A and B are shown apart, each in its own frame.
Chain A
Amino acid sequence: MTVLQSKVPDGPLADKWTQHKNKLKLVAPNNKRKYNVIVVGTGLAGAAAAASLGEMGYNVKAFCYQDSARRAHSIAAQGGINAAKNYPNDGDSVWRLFYDTIKGGDFRSREANVYRLAEVSNNIIDQCVAQGVPFAREYGGLLANRTFGGAQVSRTFYARGQTGQQLLLGAYSALMRQVKKGKVKVFPRRDMLDLVNADGAARGIITRNMVTGELERHAADAVLVCTGGYGNAYYLSTNAMGCNVTAAWRCHKRGAFFANPCFTQIHPTCIPVSGDYQSKLTLMSESLRNDGRVWVPKNKGDKRPPEQIPEEDRDYYLERRYPAFGNMVPRDVASRAAKDRCDAGYGVGETGMAVYLDFKRAIEEQGKEAIEAKYGNLFHMYRKITDEDPYKVPMRIYPAVHYTMGGLWVDYNLESTIPGLFVLGEANFSDHGANRLGASALMQGLADGYFVSPYTVGNHLAQTTPGEIGTDHDAFESVEQEVQGRIDKLLSIKGNRSVDSFHRELGKIMWDKCGMARNAQGLKEAIEEIRSLRWAYWENVNVTGQGNQLNQELEKAGRVADFLEYGELMCRDALAREESCGGHFREEYQTEENEAKRDDEHFCHVAAWEYQGDDKEPIRHQEELKFENVELTTRSYK
């Protein structure tokens, strides 16, 4: 019994997408120009969708908060993008990419969506190469591949350590071409502050012009939200400073269900926090664990420099606890183990919140040159940030929030529970289950943008009368007034605490109680603490400046206000999911060897939350996950 219609088509798994496409309704070429489409966010999903829809003939408006569409945080992705090309002839196939992804997600994603993702992965590589994306090549001039976590084949395409940048610039250049042709209009420096629904469908958005402070109304026949993840709920994360949940949260409050908000990926190898002033965290590729050994001192509070701590006083805790996988245990396991040591008082560095990643033995065995060839750029980046030479002293690392698998609930068409509101990329929940594999985020963003939404959005438009609701409709008037009211309220409080100080405090609650390991008591406490912090925020925040000008404090204030609501939902979801799976580790539900213990009998479903009002309990809906093509197994690393 559910209100959630996944709209997964019938038929064999491998034929579903093709058959579905054959049945989707079409808009005739000469009619496309009558339709307006709004795309919010210009990362891989947004830029790809906006460019593709523009090419097809729709009128597209694309929005981003940065000063240029080229700067969305997809640009920071390092490693690569998966595709089932099987160029290395090592037995890869669409089926294997599908299976690895669904298993990597700990069997908490939808089979049909994941299969489609694997199916279109090869088209993505073709498309990007044709755009002039300079992927790595072999000497013979053909495309190169490398291996990534969670796979036994080499299927990752890459552009040095800057794959995200090159893919985004490819999508951005396609977008710029459409701007020149007049099919896409880009609105940079705009915050989407609300969604406008009318007659049961999404009809437009309210944005704030971040330079002038003006509120603007934009109407359209479909709205695509491609606004990334919510990792900044933790304050410190590998996300960009501006990444926020506001667009998604506003859609949620207007009726879109939010799925699996507790699913967060915490990456084990990041440069640790160095002080209270820390503003963000920087990732060090997990490939370093191939040669680096993770350890902490055996004795609590051992303050000797690492090179003076002899072997017998070192605890290589991953090798000790996981002899079979050693330092190459999966991300979630490595992250939790590091936290465990630091919480117990064995952490290193000035703050005690770090562990060592040591290359001494690798350098002795393979030579400095070999290590430099493999990891030179990462060592260089580490040195720039920490001023320490990792060839001589071990790196200090600590886990950090990196990616969020949860997101707005969407059906097979990527359409939310609000008709006409589509959600693409990290902002939706659909493909990664409870844990995302490396090099799969870029794949999903571009799959949704280039190869899924152009078909499914057309299906919606074909059933919509173009321009039915304009910006003079009452719905725009009332939503704009609400947005203005919220801005006025924030500016009027004039308390004595900065926006950032609240954000930091929220981040600490989230990290301590809804982070790498969660338990019922901590989550209940967190919910109470977030509520009182939210109350304090609306009493005591100090937002300087005015609303009718460029005001970065006001921008942050609106985002933090939403994180203060959203954080509570994350905790609720984590509390309700009484099992451990992927990145969601409930301490009460673990095996004797401290592994995540899934409960397929009770929790083999997507949890999708329905907003009921500011002071009302949200409703938790369930979409049962049916596995007809794969067998549910336990992930084991022993």
Chain B
Amino acid sequence: MVAMKIILHIWRQDGPETKGAFKTYQLDGVSPHMSFLEMLDVLNEKLISNNEEPVVFEHDCREGICGCCGLMINGQAHGPDHETTACQLHMRKFKEGDHIWIEPWRAGAFPVIRDLMVDRSALDRIMQAGGFVSINTGNAPEANSTIIPKQNADDSFDAATCIGCGACVAACKNASAMLFVSAKVSQFALLPQGQPERSTRVENMINQMDQEGFGGCTNTNECEAACPAGISVENIARLNREFIAATLTSKK
């Protein structure tokens, strides 16, 4: 395949308090075999050789599992490929002369740190509020003493595959984190280990989500469409049921 020329429009912003703007770069010699992030590497090499500051973007494993990378590519979280993180997107999805617009996640709860990098620590704080089973090291009973129907284990696993990248928030017009929260709540609600804290968990995580400034869910399902891990909106339905049940039986 032949190398392409592409036009990049990239959001540049020096820091959280400074004003950002799109800056345009032309990049020649883009191989269709490159991953999207490798294309950005090539751009950065070019910028460095011109003594310009390279574009800041978050990335680590480049295998689609760590959840570091997150870019709005032509208005789509993680770009045009279904169930694919930005790091697993390849340039063969683009063609000669394409204009590509690259932005950071846009959400009030994810302030921009620099260029394409945002602060997603709000997701950690939601996890701190209840995304765990309270078990200390050394306290565990024999693993096979708890029997879990395969279907429940599989459904729980489907929810547990969330990589915490925040694409669901970025894709949502309300910047809601409901898909993220519902994945963790579902994982534990489907397992016997999660039962003792089932009610408090969902209440605490939802409360924290609200405090962090994430929006509400209006069932547009953009989150599911953008999710690189394929987390289903069925989990949001389960989250709503869990939350209502918890509120009705709340002892608070």
Q: Which residues of A contact B (CB under 8 A)?
A: 48, 51-52, 55, 66-71, 73, 75-76, 85, 87, 122-123, 125-132, 134-143, 159-160, 162, 165-166, 169, 172-174, 176-177, 179-180, 186, 188, 211, 240-242, 274-275, 277-280, 282, 384-387, 450-451, 454, 496, 498, 500-501, 542, 544-545, 549-550, 552-553
A residues less than 8 Å from B143 (CB atoms) = 85, 122, 125-126, 128-130, 143
Select which of B90, B132, B144 is within 8 A of A176 by beta carbon: B132
A residues less than 8 Å from B135 (CB atoms) = 127, 130-131, 174
Given contacts A132-B187, A132-B194, A176-B127, contact A141 B140 (CB under 8 A): no
Compute how far the CA of A385 lies from the CA of B34 in the bound complex, rounded to whole angstroms. Answer: 9
- Tell whether B142 is near chain A: CB-to-CB under 8 Å: yes
Compute how far the CA of A18 lies from the CA of B132 in the bound complex, rounded to whole angstroms. Answer: 30
**Are the CB atoms of B88 and A75 closer together than 8 Å?**
no
Q: From residue B235, how far is it (CB to closest CB) to chain A in Å? A: 14
- Tell whether B95 is near chain A: CB-to-CB under 8 Å: no
Listed by A's residue number, 29 A-B pairs whose Cβ atoms lie within 8 Å are: A68-B120, A70-B124, A73-B66, A76-B61, A76-B63, A122-B143, A123-B138, A126-B141, A127-B140, A129-B146, A131-B132, A131-B133, A134-B187, A135-B153, A142-B147, A162-B161, A172-B127, A173-B131, A176-B127, A176-B131, A176-B132, A180-B128, A240-B60, A274-B31, A274-B33, A275-B33, A277-B42, A278-B38, A542-B51
Q: From residue A143, how far is it (CB to closest CB) to chain B in Å? A: 6
A residues less than 8 Å from B217 (CB atoms) = none
**Which interface residue of B88, B142, B149 has the most chain A CB atoms within 10 A?**
B142
**Are the CB atoms of B45 and A500 closer together than 8 Å?**
yes
**Are the CB atoms of A240 and B67 closer together than 8 Å?**
no
**Are the CB atoms of B61 and A240 closer together than 8 Å?**
yes
Given contacts A75-B66, A134-B157, A173-B131, contact A68 B121 (CB under 8 A): yes
**Are the CB atoms of B124 and A552 closer together than 8 Å?**
no
Q: From residue B83, how far is it (CB to closest CB) to chain A in Å? A: 9
Q: Which residues of B contact A (CB under 8 A)?
A: 14-15, 31-35, 37-39, 41-42, 45, 47-49, 51-54, 56, 58-63, 65-68, 81, 84, 88, 90, 92, 113-114, 117, 119-121, 123-124, 127-129, 131-144, 146-150, 153-154, 156-157, 160-161, 163-164, 187-188, 191, 193-194
Compute how far the CA of A150 lies from the CA of B131 in the bound complex, rounded to whole angstroms. Answer: 37
Q: From residue B238, how far is it (CB to closest CB) to chain A in Å? A: 15
Compute how far the CA of A549 lies from the CA of B149 in the bound complex, rounded to whole angstroms. Answer: 51
Compute how far the CA of A450 lies from the CA of B119 in the bound complex, rounded to whole angstroms. Answer: 30
Compute how far the CA of A384 lies from the CA of B132 in the bound complex, rounded to whole angstroms. Answer: 33
Compute how far the CA of A636 lies from the CA of B187 in the bound complex, rounded to whole angstroms. Answer: 45
Compute how far the CA of A386 lies from the CA of B124 in the bound complex, rounded to whole angstroms. Answer: 34
**Are the CB atoms of A162 and B65 closer together than 8 Å?**
yes
B residues less than 8 Å from A553 (CB atoms) = 48, 54
Compute how far the CA of A89 lies from the CA of B32 in the bound complex, rounded to whole angstroms. Answer: 50
Compute how far the CA of A499 lies from the CA of B37 in the bound complex, rounded to whole angstroms. Answer: 17
**Which interface residue of B33, B48, B193 has the most chain A CB atoms within 10 A?**
B48
A residues less than 8 Å from B54 (CB atoms) = 544, 552-553
**Which interface residue of B120, B163, B194 has the most chain A CB atoms within 10 A?**
B163
**Are the CB atoms of A241 and B60 closer together than 8 Å?**
yes
**Are the CB atoms of A68 and B124 closer together than 8 Å?**
yes
Closest 4 CB pairs of A and B: A141-B147, A130-B140, A173-B132, A126-B140
**Are the CB atoms of A173 and B90 closer together than 8 Å?**
no
Compute how far the CA of A470 lies from the CA of B160 in the bound complex, rounded to whole angstroms. Answer: 42
**Are the CB atoms of A179 and B147 closer together than 8 Å?**
no
Compute how far the CA of A76 lies from the CA of B163 in the bound complex, rounded to whole angstroms. Answer: 11
**Are the CB atoms of A544 and B53 closer together than 8 Å?**
yes
Compute how far the CA of A290 lies from the CA of B52 in the bound complex, rounded to whole angstroms. Answer: 50
A residues less than 8 Å from B188 (CB atoms) = 132
Q: A177-B128, A186-B124 are in contact. List 11 more A-B contacts (CB 8 A).
A: A67-B58, A67-B121, A70-B124, A122-B143, A166-B157, A274-B34, A277-B38, A277-B39, A542-B51, A544-B47, A552-B54
Select which of A67, A131, A135, A544 is within 8 A of B51 by beta carbon: A544
Compute how far the CA of A199 lies from the CA of B140 in the bound complex, rounded to whole angstroms. Answer: 40
Given contacts A67-B121, A71-B67, A126-B143, contact A545 B53 (CB under 8 A): yes
Q: From residue A87, how far is it (CB to closest CB) to chain B in Å? A: 7
Q: From residue A482, how far is it (CB to closest CB) to chain B in Å? A: 27
Compute how far the CA of A123 lies from the CA of B142 in the bound complex, rounded to whole angstroms. Answer: 8
B residues less than 8 Å from A211 (CB atoms) = 113
Compute how far the CA of A76 lies from the CA of B65 in the bound complex, rounded to whole angstroms. Answer: 6
A residues less than 8 Å from B60 (CB atoms) = 66, 71, 73, 240-242
**Are the CB atoms of A130 and B63 closer together than 8 Å?**
no
Compute how far the CA of A85 lies from the CA of B144 in the bound complex, rounded to whole angstroms. Answer: 10
B residues less than 8 Å from A180 (CB atoms) = 128-129
**Are the CB atoms of A498 and B49 closer together than 8 Å?**
yes
Given contacts A71-B66, A75-B61, A498-B48, contact A130 B35 (CB under 8 A): no
Given contacts A66-B68, A552-B56, contact A454 B137 (CB under 8 A): yes
Select which of A52, A75, A136, A552 is within 8 A of B65 by beta carbon: A75
Compute how far the CA of A143 lies from the CA of B144 in the bound complex, rounded to whole angstroms. Answer: 7
B residues less than 8 Å from A166 (CB atoms) = 157, 160
A residues less than 8 Å from B129 (CB atoms) = 180
Compute how far the CA of A76 lies from the CA of B150 in the bound complex, rounded to whole angstroms. Answer: 24
**Which interface residue of A71, A132, A542, A544 has the most chain B CB atoms within 10 A?**
A132
Chain B residue, CB-CB nearest to A53: B137
**Are the CB atoms of A141 and B193 closer together than 8 Å?**
no
